[in-house]
Amino acid sequence: MKKLSEMVELVSGSPQFRITEVSDVNAPLYTYYGQPDIADDLVDIVSSNVDHKQVRTLDKVNTLYTEDVVFSLISGISTIVRIAHEGYLYTQNYVKLIPHENIDSQYLVYLLNEDKLIQKQFQLGLQGSQVLKYTLRQVKE
């Protein structure tokens, strides 16, 4: 059985506490990708009542592109990023999964969200005080 790290490249989000906010209006303005956004992308809608946190920074940060596969370390849900969230900054609470050749992104999302064996692996990794971030780190090893 192959490990997830053998089928996809995992790119962690930018550590939010290391992002230096600046007041320079010429600095890029980024919108944070959050749980409401992952939920919207999963069902292909755009909620208009979401209050998005933004930051101006000159730091190099990780951003999302349309059709990226993103996995939430908070909820354990994965989705494909829709055009409405292109350019959003994703933090350490999310991981971008870049599938290798011959792996369909939609099928990957389906497996991560619905496959009972994968869910069982996540749950086994969550026993005790461990969190999902630790479980994903185990999958990578």
CA dihedral 115, 137, 19, 72 (to 10 degrees): 10
Cα 141 from chain centroid (whole Å): 19
CATH superfamily of 4-140: DNA methylase specificity domains (3.90.220.20)
Q: Mean pLDDT in the chain? A: 86
pLDDT at 141: 46
* Per-residue pLDDT tens digits for 111-128: 899 988 877 776 665 555
Per residue in 62-108, pLDDT (tens digit) is 999 999 999 998 888 999 999 999 999 999 999 999 998 888 999 99
Confidence of residue 22 (pLDDT cuts 50, 70, 90): very high
What are the residue boundaries of the structural domains of the chain, listed by start? 4-140
Three-class DSSP labels, 48-98? CCCCCCEEEECCCCCECCCCCEEEECCCCCEEECCHHHCCCECECCEEEEE
